[in-house]
Chain A
């Protein structure tokens, strides 16, 4: 077994032991939330990191998943698992409908279009009271059940989230290492060259957008069945920006980076809480410093350090940019 696989197994076992050694509900809540956010951020990683397409609507797909799952279980009395699958499918479907026209745009225009969609989605959650219960929020969402076990508490729900994170990471890894991943990366590196190579860029960008939506939908459903209460405030543009920052801080084209960024930025405010009201200032400054000094995120920093450790040349900060500069 190679060392990387072994290290990964040790890491997974260590994470799986957290509920056995940590008894604070508060910390377990943060772990569960960080895991859920990691799924949303991994989805964004497929779109932005692998494919180079910017979206600021990830919170909207997160909300669509949460409310679909919440509505199916509370209004129609569905069991949690099929509701979760439907939530994922619904977010993916909406992503398909939004992505089809939007992904003919690129760069700033695409970012603006996704901001517009995010704002519309939040307004729908607030105003479609028959379904969402508006600003009062949706309550009474059940916990998932497997046979005699109900995953009511954070120490058991932790494992559902862990399995979901691992499954999503595996799917993202499969995407990255196969034909689809190569096509997505080619689009990120140079869309015109990709098209001249025969890659149907629009189709692949839509595939990436749908994956990003499906990941966010699954995460939204996971959140709904753990908090058991949904409020439209949680699915704002601000939250989309937080997901984007998590991805950039972690390392946008790396699956591990997406998870690391989500965990770090979920725990950072808690670490800074003793600073009281000035914490948000320090939090903001810390994020800015990380982005300036680690343009390829934490994972990029680790790779550079490892390369230096081996006395090889550090990898470039932006391989594509360097090659473009050389070609120009």
Chain B
């Protein structure tokens, strides 16, 4: 397994947000974490990237424990986290945002410029925006930039937190297609999504979280077809998709 979480417990102050969750992600997969607001999806990602420190359990990446590491060390190990809310650096240009993504690799300028070019190949829209400041970009462009910046670290595992949040349906489709392409190119993806229907269409497996526990897990297609899943989560997801049909 590339990533293993075993009985992980994480707290926000006095409040326990994860009550012992166990998750596996194998190399080359797209695995989705689903669940309602407050289920612990983002907390799980923050725990993996060590922005939050678990109080119990273990997170192992490529067989080695991440215990005691700082977030920047985790990136250097090969896990890039694209946080929720398109946390790009608005006061920096698109190119500078991308170059920053390469920080943990300590590569030279020529290598970084070559990688920027390669990443821009995946995100052709960003290529025309190189010198523009982050804050001038649309929501979809900012999301693409955030993912592109994550890829600049050349991660083996990409943690994506709600990449479709607040985006127009057509842009969401674009983002999802890009995620599939990234996975096909060899980067493993752990995708947090509220839009369960969309996530299950591109993921190979999924975990459904409920109030800090894994409530359901399994093959994405089976989950998509399961009555329990449909009743609890997909009903609302289908309603979210309705504007797509009328648009």
By a beta-carbon cutoff of 8 Å, the part of chain A in contact with chain B is 179, 182-183, 185-186, 188-190, 192-201, 316, 319-320, 322-324, 326-328
Give 22 A-B contacts (CB < 8 Å), ordered by A residue: A179-B99, A182-B96, A182-B99, A185-B89, A186-B100, A189-B89, A190-B89, A195-B72, A196-B75, A197-B100, A198-B76, A198-B101, A198-B103, A199-B103, A319-B135, A323-B88, A324-B90, A326-B135, A326-B139, A327-B86, A327-B87, A328-B85
Complex formed: what's the CA distance from A179 to B149 in Å?
15
Which of B75, B85, B139, B142 meets A197, CB within 8 Å?
B75
Chain B contact patch, size range: 20 to 34
Bound Cα distance A319, B92 (Å): 10
In-complex Cβ contact of A316 among B72, B135, B142 (8 A): B135
Interface flags for B137-152 (1: CB within 8 Å of A; 0: not) read 0010010000001100
- Interface SS majority for chain A: helix
Q: How far is the CA of A186 from the CA of B99 in the complex (A)?
A: 11
Decide if B70 is an interface residue (CB 8 Å cutoff). yes
Q: Which residue of A lies closest to B87 (CB)?
A: A193
A188 to B91, CA, bound (A): 9
**When the two chains form their complex, are residues A319 and B72 in contact, meaning their CB atoms are under 8 A apart?**
no
Decide: A198 near B51, CB < 8 A? Known: A182-B92, A193-B83, A316-B135.
Answer: no
Which residues in A have their C-beta under 8 angstroms from that of B134?
Answer: 319, 323
Q: Judging by beta carbons under 8 Å apart, are A179 and B103 in contact?
A: yes
B87 touching A192 by the CB < 8 A rule?
A: yes
Among residues of B, the one whose C-beta sits closest to the C-beta of A313 is: B136
Please indicate the chain B residues that have their CB under 8 angstroms from the CB of A188 in the complex.
Answer: 91
Q: Is B81 an interface residue (CB 8 A)?
A: yes
Cβ-defined contact, A196 with B87, below 8 A: yes
Alpha-carbon gap, A179 to B99, bound state (A): 8
Q: Pick the residue among A185, A201, A320, A327 that contacts B72 (CB under 8 A).
A: A201
Across the interface, do A323 and B90 meet the contact criterion of CB distance under 8 Å? yes
* Other-chain residue from A192, A201, A322 in contact with B83 (beta carbon distance below 8 A): A192
The 0/1 profile, CB within 8 Å of A marked 1, for residues 162-182 of chain B is 000010000000000000000
In Å, the complex CA distance between A174 and B52 comes to 34
- Say whether A195 contacts B96, CB under 8 Å: no
CB distance from A66 to the nearest CB of B (A): 35
CB of A182 within 8 A of CB of B100, answer yes
Per-residue interface assignment for chain B, residues 57 to 75, with 1 indicating a CB less than 8 Å from any chain A CB and 0 otherwise: 0000000000000111001
Q: How far is the CB of A231 from chain B (nearest CB, A)?
A: 41
A183 to B133: give the CA distance in the assembly, Å.
16
The answer to whether B90 touches A198 (Cβ under 8 A) is: no
Which residues of the other chain, A, contact B100 by a CB distance below 8 angstroms? 182-183, 186, 194, 197, 199
**Contact A322-B135, Cβ < 8 Å, known A195-B51, A196-B51, A197-B75:** yes
Please state if A198 and B99 are interface contacts (CB–CB under 8 Å).
no
Assembly CA distance A185 to B90 (angstroms): 10
Minimal beta-carbon separation of A179 from chain B (angstroms): 7
- How far, in whole Å, are A263 and B85 apart by their CA atoms in the complex? 41
* Cross-chain contact A319 with B81 (CB below 8 angstroms): no
**Complex Cα–Cα for A249 and B65 (A):** 49
A-facing mask of B94-107, CB < 8 A → 1, else 0?
00100111011000
Q: Are B91 and A195 in contact (CB under 8 A)?
A: no
Interface centre among B80, B82, B89, B101 (most CB of A within 10 A): B89
Residue of A whose beta carbon sits closest to that of B90 = A323
Known: A183-B100, A322-B135. Is A195-B87 also a contact (CB below 8 A)?
no
Is A189's CB under 8 angstroms from B91's CB?
A: yes
Does B32 interact with chain A (Cβ within 8 Å)? no
B53 within 8 A of A: no
